[in-house]
Amino acid sequence: MKVLLASEYGFCFGVERAVDMVEDAVAAGETVRTLGPLIHNTQEMERLEGEGVATIDAPVQISRGETAVIRAHGVAPDVQAELEARASKVVDATCPFVTRVQRLTARAAAQDRDVVVVGSPDHPEMIGVKGYAPERAYIVRDASELASLPMLKDPLVVSQTTIKAQTFFDTADAVRAKTDGTVEVINTICSATRDRQDAARALSNMVGAFYIIGGKHSSNSLKLLAVCKENCEKSFLIETEDEIDPADLGGVETVGVTAGASTPQWLIDRVVKRLEAL
Ligand code: SF4
């Protein structure tokens, strides 16, 4: 059986960078604590826990002698300051694409302007961004949520990095009705999620079965599964190679493989190895 990998799969740039930064701190002998789970993948979290990396829920749980890690989603400035005050060292693994949203938001507020950020208000990335302009930033899921906002002063419109482009543009268009001033629109969506979906879709036309490796509750993995199923009925979301059922592969000559943005390479390698052995 031939195994084909999608042209884009697995760790995105920001997650890979964050995991590398944690690995470096562990290798340097530091006691590492991440604020919130570093990554939404059970197997990778277990591996990191095996290396002594623990997760904390609040800055108050960090002590002197420990290294605090800010994950790729980023945090609000007051949270960062608290970590810096408590920990011996802070490793800032905020994804540079998220840092850009934070900086743009802070800059617009400093210019006495309002900011509309299109995203989920309860997502950690958005909670962090809001902290850069608590009085001036409005987080809205879509255009319908603009109705409750006051009139805006020369608003900047930016986005959570992982939302749908259409939602962003529709909301940005609707912001014009909420201001007498100028609207500045900066698309801050990261292409990692879309690139993985496009690559999976292209490959799903060429295979008899498709394995998507990722957490059963990971939204980007579930989306990949839906995309693959459009063209390939035998598409399966699995967390490890143990879930591969050879009975599903009867008559299949070519199988496709992709992985969600939080799936580490070592898990992907194991799945590919198992499929090649079948
Ligand atoms: S999805 Fe994009 S913005 Fe989010 S961590 Fe990955 S690279 Fe960064």
| 1 has a pLDDT exceeding 90 | no
pLDDT of amino acid 75: 98
Domains 2-9+191-277 and 97-185 share a fold: yes
User: Is the domain defined by 13-94 classed in CATH 3.40.50.11270?
Assistant: yes
Specify the higher pLDDT residue, 101 or 1: 101
Q: Is 190 in the pocket of ligand 1 (CB under 6 A)?
A: yes
Q: How far is the CA of 250 from the centre of ligand 1 (A)?
A: 37
Find the mean pLDDT for residues 10-31. 96
d(CA 162, ligand 1 centre) in Å: 7
The mean per-residue pLDDT over the stretch 20-48 comes to: 95
Mean pLDDT over the full length of the chain: 96
The pick from 161, 163, 188, 221 for probing ligand 1's pocket by mutation, whose C-beta has the most ligand atoms within 8 angstroms, reads 161
| Catalytic hit among 8, 44, 125, 241 | 125
pLDDT, one tens digit per residue, over 191-238 is 998 899 999 999 999 999 999 999 888 878 998 999 999 999 999 999
Range 97-185 classified under CATH 2.40.50.140: no
Question: Which two structure tokens, joined as six digits, stand for 40?
Answer: 């939404």
Cα angle 158, 110, 184; round to 5: 35
* Residue 125 annotated in active site: yes
Question: Which of the four CATH numbers 3.40.1010.20, 3.40.50.2000, 2.40.70.10, 3.30.70.3270 does domain 2-9+191-277 have?
Answer: 3.40.1010.20
Residue 276 C-alpha to ligand 1 middle, in angstroms? 31
CB 98 less than 6 A from any atom of ligand 1: yes
Is the CB–ligand 1 distance for residue 97 below 6 Å? Answer: yes
**Confidence category of residue 40, pLDDT binned at 50, 70, 90:** confident
- Judge if the beta carbon of residue 260 lies within 6 A of ligand 1: no
pLDDT at 217: 80
Q: Closest ligand 1 atom, CA of 193? A: 1
**Domain regions of the chain by residue span:** 2-9+191-277, 13-94, 97-185
- Closest CA to ligand 1's atom 8: 14
The pLDDT of residue 150:
97
Is the Cβ atom of 19 under 6 angstroms away from ligand 1?
Answer: no
